[in-house]
Structure 1
Amino acid sequence: MSEVVRAGAAGVRVLHGLLRPDGALALWGEDGTAAGHGAAGRGAAPEHPFAVPTAELPAGDDGTATVVLPSTGAGPLASPHLGLPPRRGTPRPRQWRVPVAVVPFLDVDLVAEFEGRAASSVEWLVELCGFAASLVRRGRVLPVVRIEGPRPSARWQPVLSGADAVRRSALLNRMPPACRAERPETGGDPFTVALERLVDGLVRTRLAEAGVTLADYGWLAALTGEPEFDATPALADELAGRLGAWFEQAARGAEVRVCFRLSDPREHEPVMPDEVPLPEDTWRLEFLLQAVDEPSVLVPAAQVWRDRSAPLRRWTSHPQERLLAGLGRAARLYPDLAGALRGVHPGEMLLDTEGAHRFLSHAAVLEEAGYGILLPAWWRRRPSLGLSLEVRGRDPVSQVLRDRAVGLRELVDYRWGLALGGRTLTEDDLADLAKAKVPLVRLRGRWVFLDPERLAAGLAFLKRGGGRMTAGDALRVMRLLPPEELPLPVTDARGEGWLADLLTGRLDQRLEVLDPPDGLVGTLRPYQVRGFSWLAFLDSLGLGACLADDMGLGKTVQLLALLLHHRAGPALLICPLSVLGNWQREAARFAPGLRVRVLHGADREDPAVLAAGADIVLTTYATAVRDADALAAVSWDRVVLDEAQHIKNSGGATARAVRRFPARNRIALTGTPVENRLAELWSILDFANPGLLASAHTFRARFAVPIERYADEDAAARLRQATRPFLLRRTKADHGIAAELPAKRHVRHLCGMTTEQVSLYRAVLDDLLERLAEPGEKWRKGLVLAAMTKLKQACVHPALLLKDNSPLAGRSGKVDRLEEIVDHALGAGESLLCFTQFARFGAMLTPHLAARFGVPVRYLHGGTPRATRDAMVAEFQRADRPGVFVLSLKAGGTGLNLTAANHVVHVDRWWNPATETQASDRAFRIGQRRDVHVHTLVCLGTLEERIDRVLADKGVLAERVVGAGEGWLSSLSTQDLRDLFALTPEAIVD
């Protein structure tokens, strides 16, 4: 699945963090449901229209803040996390009043109280608080006395040197702009104040929790009680000076530090000829001195004691004192060092496996305290423990006979195991684990660390043993089960046969590239040969497939090759009416040996009679729904859906009908497996392999919501893994395909409007705003959508809106521009396709263009009979002279092959880019030998231009905004609709 479409984020909430000018931490939020509905207030700092109330924020002191946010005349811009359409106009900073929760400290648990997602500003504040907590935990604080008011005060202040100073600078540089939203333009940076407040508060909290008081009076008492204390000016100055000198000396920090290097037994090799090798399973912990600003400078303790520490002279003149003092402080954190310090010149420790594990357990604490830690490379990327699933087919014959379709209902034997780093552990490995006394274990010559709780959970799960399940269940367990349903994730699969290869991602290795079948007329391109071979391979296994090649890459000929390759009974092929004739022609052209029958029309035969004498029975989706009972009574070899997006609504009548038809195998053909929502992908793949992706509810919870709403990349990766074996997606940009296609060039034409168009546009808009001002919201959605249709009609031509069949010439900027494009194309001897979503306008445009240019102008719409439609397409494709083909977007936007044209004009905009792309691909497809020019006509200064900007931006935002069509517009506020639909002066051209 190469593309992921995200749905709109209405209802999503976003939590923001704020660093106030006085250093306090505050939280405020935005509500995606309310965004766009509140009116912008008046005054210097009006209330933010869609801020979350204080009662719904995490626990804290209630308050308000005045934040500066980018805004337009309609109000503040919404956070990008909400996925809402951009407001019209140039953003400018403006003050807004928001409810806030002021918190003394911020951690992940507090953020979790909010029902929504946290913005980067909140994540940064959590990181700042974690840094403060780390300083306090490591004792990187000292007392100071400040003389800032009538009475001196005693505070705890962080000591920042070495790595801590670097981390402070990194935090400051990464501060999100949103954290400074309340910062006055002339004010100071609150970062230092906030860090000092956090450290001081945390030290006092820790001392209070431990019941520690430093004295009953004076400045020491102020370090655990009220910060201010009484002292004479002379005493206060002396205290401040002495404590300040102590603090400055500590802040300068050491230029070298003690470093510990642990080597596992494999890394011990005698350096000197007379050196005795260490016993097996003995670890070495070396002591070294390391330059803080150049960590690559390392001097072993043995050289320090022998006065051979020349590399450190630049940093210190007393290396021995630094080494001994550093080891002494480290012994408080890692008590095992005490034994080594009893020696005169401590240089290393020899540890057994249990001792090595104790050091590894303390390594993080030592590193956080500022010591250098060098560990074996495998420790940094130690493998994770998971479950493995072994499957074996119960019928060995099915692994050999390729013509027997075993499918997802085949029973297989399975057995659970444990896997480390994706490799299944053997019985000997498990025995070694059972004997291990500590989580540090040597397996297969490698040292590994195993979390005791995960290991115990995995070993307990193995007691379930094995059993029997279907191949489909094995796939669901491996790919789709939520992690909480198993004690460990499934990280490995093994076994024999196609299922094991499918589980391990090696199925492609079993794919045999086939020769084109006998009876196929024409030459398959290399990628088409591979697609046909892939279809045949899955067909032989009884697995359904979704061939999701881009429009125009030849899905039809690949399927016909499959039908010629293996004829085991009648195939039912369901397609839109617009391409029914195309399938007949393509079958006669590429596979004349196939017996093709058509189930369509008022006097259609019984499906069972047709199937008896046919290789393919062609029918339409509408007929399939009407004849569902009769079609369900036939045993089909294959059921194929062309333009399978017609069943994207899994609960619709079409989807329910086609799922009833029995078949040995099912195939879906579509150029757009996902148009608006991931639920559409589920519906198509569930048709091909029922139950494979679990239920629609489970799919939504596991994939659709995390991907569409929260952009969860892990969920997207799991979905790609789960669907990859059954979904083949190739695009025209893929290597090996792009070289076989001409270029496709997009041109956007900004057209002006005539005075007549402008007057009609304004009349429709004024009527809409007047009716929206009336009380009640009952008919709001219908009013907005109806008005939008009229506004688009006014942009196309006055006669379309007025429905008076008046002449077209000289009354529309779009029609004038269309005539220029047609004139240029015909003058170059090139044909042109003209798409409109208004069938009435197509009927008006056809005679106008025919009279204007004197060339054949054909018109295809939803009411065109099938025979006439087929004749029109055939005539256009083989015409000797250039011509124009006018098509309604819904009737002619899919399935047709119209490569005789290399110009495509979209007269009016359809708000779904995928729909317009499908229409353009009627000309941009295999068989096209010239560059294709796609012309989009947009009225300047109207709603068309503003929505076109959203579509032109494309990417995640446009897809989320467009959603399922035009319905999102009806939820906008009246002010937003006024801004969106408003007419600007540049729209008028006459």
Structure 2
Amino acid sequence: MLVAHAVWHGGALCLWAERPGPHTPDGSGRHPHATADLTGTSYEPFTAHAPRITLDLLLPTTGGLPLPSPELATVPATVPETGEPELRPWRVPALALDPFAAMALLRHAEEAADVIPGTDLRYLGLVADTACDLVRRGRVLPALVREDGAPAARWRPVPDAGRVRALTEAMPPACRSAGGGRPAGEVLREALGGLADTVVRGTVPHPLLPPRRGKAPDPLPLTERWANALTGPDPWLSREPGDDLDGLAAELDAWAAAAGRPAGPLRTCFRLAEPEPTDAADAWRIEFALQSTEDPSLYVPAATIWAGGAASIADAEETLLAGLGRALRLFPDLSQALSGPAPAELRTGVAGAFRFLRQAAPLLAAAGFGVLLPQWAGRTRLGMRLTTRTQAEAGAVTSSGFGLGSLVDFRWDLAVGDEPLTEEELAELARLKAPLVRLRGRWVELDEAQLEAALDFLRRPRTGTMSAAQAVRAAVHAGDDALPLLEVDADGPLGDLLSGEADHRLSPTTTPEGFNGELRPFQERGLSWLKFLDDLGLGGILADSMGLGKTAQTLALLALERAGGRRVAPTLLVGPMSLVGNWQREAAKFTPKLRVYVHHGGARHRGAELAEAVAQADLVLTTYGTAARDARMLAEIEWGRVVCDEAQALKNSGTRQARAVRGIPARSRLALTGTPVENHLTELWSIMEFVNPGLLGPRSAFRERFAAPIEERGDEAAAAALRRVTGPFVLRRLKTDRSIISDLPDKQEIKVYCNLTAEQASLYQATVDDMLARIAEAADEAGRRGLVLATMARLKQVCNHPAHLLKDGSRLPGRSGKLERLEEICAEILGQGEKALAFTQYAEFGSMLQPYLAARLGRPVLWLHGGTPKARRDELVQRFQEDAEPAVFLLSLKAAGTGLTLTAANHVVHIDRWWNPAVEDQATDRAFRIGQTRNVQVRKFICVGTLEERVDEMIERKKALAESVVGTGEDWLTELSVAELRDVLRLSPEAVSD
């Protein structure tokens, strides 16, 4: 018996089969269970003419072999269990079905007696059913798209947002195994679009338009050629002179956007009504009604409609019956109520009400029906409650302080909502085995998994004594979907921490003795929060946005703990090399009494000399590179605290520097970063693993519980749980929040569009043609990724200047639209007596620009890059900040994008884009930070009609998903298909200036 699997990849349904049998690892990377041979099976009629391909799939693996699918559960296990499964790539032979064969197979896959459809194939069958339903309801629109760079006429599905969400959440992981693991939403969009297009082409006659009378023009107008391509097997359009493809595509996109709004003023609605308290039979009712889509409060019960009380609603009865008929497929229990001429409600028992609540209601809501549930539904749940009380110290009149080692008495209880549950009550619930039960006058959902978890809970120790550290870990890790943690009731500092309200409950600490300056109110609250965690021996992430004074708050903490001459173990601060000088200056400015030692450079102390130097210091500054090289020496010193500035440097937990910094022991740890998440949530795990090791559990468990559900499905429940887990240890304030800081000027972002010269356009097109051909022929994924990144770099260099690409030392004037615009803007800024920062990611381009701009502008143009020595770097920053003369500061983005304070500038220019909003914002915040008194203008250069404009559009679309979705640099662009790359890289006619 074979198990059939399928993925939607490369615009086609790719089918493969899994067969049982003993296998041993052979190291070839070929899937030992896989076959593409379906000869002689019921699937052969659909696959007989399908070409064979090879897929690279990410599949769960253990013992060097891919795990068998659940459908082979009846087959004796042939894979040894050697630990937790991991995702590994496997080469799988498969068949690529044409659209019509794919649709036919998906509609009949479950009818075969000799092939078992896998969960992935059955899911795609559900997507095919959805496509058919959308076509039947007219929820498709014609579109004009680009595929492999060529225009194509396609039918675009217009599904309900709720239905898309439900399908996305229901997608099995196997459906996303192709292409290195793709987001569920992307896979669903491609599969649903391809299947809906196939259904329409198999339904609508060809051609769509009637034949013209008389002689037809040659060629036909674009709209007629497009309409003809909407039906029949060939979607491609020929390109003719004068075609306005972009205009037609824009009109069709606007049509699709308008169609996405709710269709029609009325919809059928279902309301679950619980039994009356006096009803001993517990009879539930599911009431039918019509509801307005524009104003859901306008609600007319079916009983009123049948009684003639809805005469003002045209066709009310017909609308209601039509809706009930459509709902029957999703909720078969409805058939019991539809036998009469005037269906108004469905009466059911507890089991039927629970089926509606858990199964039918989500499906009906996803399909666009109205669903009204009791207020307690999904809220009043069985869960755990943790109570802790701090133990009084025997014989002590006053407490000597509270820390992670302090002992607390604990008690675990079961609770429903905020009410504890007795063992007798739980035993009665277990005896009833009912999914909905009335407890203390209110209804509670209780499924079998919850009951099992609750009974298992009763078998564990539920009272006793543990340390405060154990209590924190217990609260962080307690609970799951079956038995969640509902409440933590703790007293004292531990209560403040576990409630997640420490920042709100604690009184702000005033500016401490020894701090030269005045902290703002929000900085005093930050200092109080830092002191609170430090007293507990816990680490934290100070994630205030750039410019809110994370350095000042940290120095204030060092001053506070040393007030009154107290002796405290030194603090080790690790940061990028570019920030060492900044910390020296800030310490001298705010905390002049602090003894600072810089551990960096070839002449740095080692061994006993290092220990002696540290003993004479309060603050030791070093770099990530030095910390990695001297990890063993630094680990031998007793540190009071380790602080990591720009802690996103630790986001990759497996790097040498991340491991080295985590290995330095200290009583507490602090991470400073304005971007705790640049790309993936596992970066947050990595930083948390530094500040509080082990608190979030293993990386794999964190990814499964939080990262995957949030990133791939937008799971709001998982996001809320993550906020609860990390909330006590992360303090995040934004300078755009006027309640935090009201006197920071505004930031105005402007996109400056530049044209290419004819020379640039010629180089651009030649680069695209050459590199796309090489990318298409790349033999392996690593080679392909390298070619994509090389292409991006070369094209950005072309957009900067031909001499930047050619590196031939040729002249600069008159050859670059971007350079011409940069000159104009800089001249205007200097003419106003102001200063500007200009960022480029290419040091070689900055070295070309600096002498050229200085000569053309007749004013100082400073230049800072990665090779600038520290002393020279400090001199340049001081000169720019203190000189009254207008100037331009040219900076390498990597070397100067973080840490520096350059508030003398009120203009920022991004010459070439790093294509990461977080990185660009960090660079902008060199000027837009506390100390800035003027509005800041930020200009981002974009060459029109090139990849710069299209990638900028992609970033703007993706910004809605997170503060920073794309990763550092351009790595995320390597995931684009060849067709997508061709569209991104193409040169449009408007790119070239006249």
**TM-score tier (shorter):** 0.5 to 0.7
Partner of 1:593: 593
2:640 aligned with 1:634: no
Partner of 2:894: 890
Query: Is the alpha carbon distance of 1:602 and 1:99 closer, same or farther for their aligned partners in structure 2, counting shifts above 3 Å?
Result: same
SS for the counterpart of 1:914 is: helix
Which range moved further: 747-756 or 449-458? 449-458
Q: CA–CA distance in 2 between the matches of 1:478 and 1:972?
A: 41
Query: Is the alpha carbon distance of 1:364 and 1:521 closer, same or farther for their aligned partners in structure 2, counting shifts above 3 Å?
Result: closer
* Counterpart code for 1:386: G
Q: Is the 8 A contact 1:264 1:376 kept in 2?
A: no
Q: CA–CA distance in 2 between the matches of 1:752 and 1:500?
A: 60
Using the TM superposition, give the Cα deviation of residue 438 of structure 1 relative to its aligned residue in structure 2, in angstroms.
8.6
Q: Is the 8 A contact 1:941 1:987 kept in 2?
A: yes
Which range moved further: 904-913 or 771-780? 771-780
Q: Percent identity?
A: 48
Query: Is the alpha carbon distance of 1:474 and 1:831 closer, same or farther for their aligned partners in structure 2, counting shifts above 3 Å?
Result: same
SS for the counterpart of 2:889 is: strand
2:789 aligned with 1:794: no
Partner of 1:880: 884
Query: Is the alpha carbon distance of 1:126 and 1:441 closer, same or farther for their aligned partners in structure 2, counting shifts above 3 Å?
Result: farther
Using the TM superposition, give the Cα deviation of residue 589 of structure 1 relative to its aligned residue in structure 2, in angstroms.
1.4
Q: Which has the larger radius of gyration?
A: 1
Partner of 2:574: 574
Q: CA–CA distance in 2 between the matches of 1:712 and 1:447?
A: 26
Using the TM superposition, give the Cα deviation of residue 28 of structure 1 relative to its aligned residue in structure 2, in angstroms.
8.3
2:388 aligned with 1:391: yes
Match among 272, 277, 280 for residue 264 of structure 1: 277
2:786 aligned with 1:757: no
SS for the counterpart of 1:732 is: coil
Partner of 2:826: 822
Using the TM superposition, give the Cα deviation of residue 955 of structure 1 relative to its aligned residue in structure 2, in angstroms.
2.3
Structure 1 spans left out of the alignment, 5+ residues: 1-26, 36-47, 66-94, 129-175, 190-256, 266-280, 300-308, 316-332, 334-356, 369-373
Q: CA–CA distance in 2 between the matches of 1:399 and 1:359?
A: 61
2:484 aligned with 1:489: yes
Q: CA–CA distance in 2 between the matches of 1:366 and 1:961?
A: 37
Using the TM superposition, give the Cα deviation of residue 385 of structure 1 relative to its aligned residue in structure 2, in angstroms.
1.3
SS for the counterpart of 2:838 is: strand
Q: Is the 8 A contact 1:632 1:660 kept in 2?
A: yes
* Counterpart code for 2:693: P
Match among 417, 423, 438 for residue 419 of structure 2: 423
Query: Is the alpha carbon distance of 1:628 and 1:445 closer, same or farther for their aligned partners in structure 2, counting shifts above 3 Å?
Result: same
Partner of 1:806: 810
Match among 675, 679, 683 for residue 682 of structure 2: 679
Q: CA–CA distance in 1 between the matches of 2:787 and 2:312?
A: 79
2:51 aligned with 1:51: no
Partner of 1:371: none
Using the TM superposition, give the Cα deviation of residue 418 of structure 1 relative to its aligned residue in structure 2, in angstroms.
0.9
Using the TM superposition, give the Cα deviation of residue 685 of structure 1 relative to its aligned residue in structure 2, in angstroms.
0.9
* Counterpart code for 1:53: L
Partner of 1:616: 619
SS for the counterpart of 1:646 is: helix
Partner of 2:924: 920
Using the TM superposition, give the Cα deviation of residue 586 of structure 1 relative to its aligned residue in structure 2, in angstroms.
1.1
Match among 713, 716, 740 for residue 713 of structure 1: 716
Using the TM superposition, give the Cα deviation of residue 462 of structure 1 relative to its aligned residue in structure 2, in angstroms.
1.5
Post-superposition CA distance 1:837-862 (Å, at most 9, x none): 11122122111121112212111111
Relative contact order, higher structure (CA 8 A, sep 6+): 1
Q: CA–CA distance in 2 between the matches of 1:627 and 1:930?
A: 43
Q: CA–CA distance in 1 between the matches of 2:435 and 2:708?
A: 38
Query: Is the alpha carbon distance of 1:187 and 1:122 closer, same or farther for their aligned partners in structure 2, counting shifts above 3 Å?
Result: closer
Q: CA–CA distance in 1 between the matches of 2:757 and 2:892?
A: 25
Q: CA–CA distance in 2 between the matches of 1:631 and 1:297?
A: 76
Which range moved further: 677-686 or 601-610? 601-610
Q: CA–CA distance in 2 between the matches of 1:944 and 1:375?
A: 48
Partner of 1:181: 197
Q: CA–CA distance in 1 between the matches of 2:618 and 2:520?
A: 25
* Counterpart code for 1:181: D
Q: CA–CA distance in 2 between the matches of 1:819 and 1:286?
A: 75
* Counterpart code for 1:761: Y
SS for the counterpart of 1:855 is: coil
Query: Is the alpha carbon distance of 1:393 and 1:183 closer, same or farther for their aligned partners in structure 2, counting shifts above 3 Å?
Result: same
Q: Is the 8 A contact 1:288 1:298 kept in 2?
A: no
Q: Is the 8 A contact 1:597 1:616 kept in 2?
A: yes
TM-score after normalising by structure 1: 0.65
Q: Is the 8 A contact 1:859 1:886 kept in 2?
A: yes
Query: Is the alpha carbon distance of 1:623 and 1:845 closer, same or farther for their aligned partners in structure 2, counting shifts above 3 Å?
Result: same
Partner of 1:204: none
SS for the counterpart of 2:13 is: coil
Give matches, 1:223-262, under 5 Å: 262=275
SS for the counterpart of 2:737 is: coil
SS for the counterpart of 2:120 is: coil
Using the TM superposition, give the Cα deviation of residue 62 of structure 1 relative to its aligned residue in structure 2, in angstroms.
7.2
Match among 524, 538, 541 for residue 543 of structure 1: 538
Match among 702, 706, 717 for residue 705 of structure 2: 702
Q: Is the 8 A contact 1:575 1:641 kept in 2?
A: yes
2:742 aligned with 1:739: yes
Q: Is the 8 A contact 2:282 2:350 kept in 1?
A: no
2:850 aligned with 1:837: no
Query: Is the alpha carbon distance of 1:401 and 1:734 closer, same or farther for their aligned partners in structure 2, counting shifts above 3 Å?
Result: farther
Using the TM superposition, give the Cα deviation of residue 623 of structure 1 relative to its aligned residue in structure 2, in angstroms.
1.6
Using the TM superposition, give the Cα deviation of residue 548 of structure 1 relative to its aligned residue in structure 2, in angstroms.
0.5
Post-superposition CA distance 1:949-976 (Å, at most 9, x none): 2123332579898445323444555555
Using the TM superposition, give the Cα deviation of residue 482 of structure 1 relative to its aligned residue in structure 2, in angstroms.
6.7
Q: Is the 8 A contact 1:399 1:498 kept in 2?
A: no
Post-superposition CA distance 1:95-132 (Å, at most 9, x none): 9556133447999xx9971179769956858999xxxx
SS for the counterpart of 1:740 is: coil
Query: Is the alpha carbon distance of 1:765 and 1:610 closer, same or farther for their aligned partners in structure 2, counting shifts above 3 Å?
Result: same
Using the TM superposition, give the Cα deviation of residue 932 of structure 1 relative to its aligned residue in structure 2, in angstroms.
1.0
Partner of 1:868: 872
Aligned-residue Cα RMSD (Å) equals 4.7
* Counterpart code for 1:925: R
* Counterpart code for 1:718: A
Which range moved further: 627-636 or 487-496? 487-496
Partner of 2:951: 947
Q: Is the 8 A contact 1:676 1:959 kept in 2?
A: no
Q: Is the 8 A contact 1:392 1:413 kept in 2?
A: yes
Q: CA–CA distance in 2 between the matches of 1:440 and 1:975?
A: 52
Q: CA–CA distance in 2 between the matches of 1:677 and 1:541?
A: 29
Partner of 1:658: 661
Which range moved further: 543-552 or 452-461? 452-461
Q: CA–CA distance in 2 between the matches of 1:29 and 1:854?
A: 62
Using the TM superposition, give the Cα deviation of residue 507 of structure 1 relative to its aligned residue in structure 2, in angstroms.
3.9
Q: CA–CA distance in 1 between the matches of 2:372 and 2:976?
A: 58
Q: Is the 8 A contact 1:575 1:619 kept in 2?
A: yes
Using the TM superposition, give the Cα deviation of residue 381 of structure 1 relative to its aligned residue in structure 2, in angstroms.
6.9
Partner of 1:252: none
Query: Is the alpha carbon distance of 1:399 and 1:803 closer, same or farther for their aligned partners in structure 2, counting shifts above 3 Å?
Result: farther
SS for the counterpart of 2:796 is: helix
Q: Is the 8 A contact 1:472 1:692 kept in 2?
A: no
Q: Is the 8 A contact 1:794 1:800 kept in 2?
A: yes
Give matches, 1:270-281, under 5 Å: none
2:988 aligned with 1:988: no
Post-superposition CA distance 1:750-799 (Å, at most 9, x none): 21122332333344334434545767447444333333322221211222
Q: CA–CA distance in 2 between the matches of 1:657 and 1:289?
A: 63
Q: Is the 8 A contact 1:390 1:493 kept in 2?
A: yes
TM-score after normalising by structure 2: 0.65
Q: CA–CA distance in 1 between the matches of 2:949 and 2:286?
A: 68
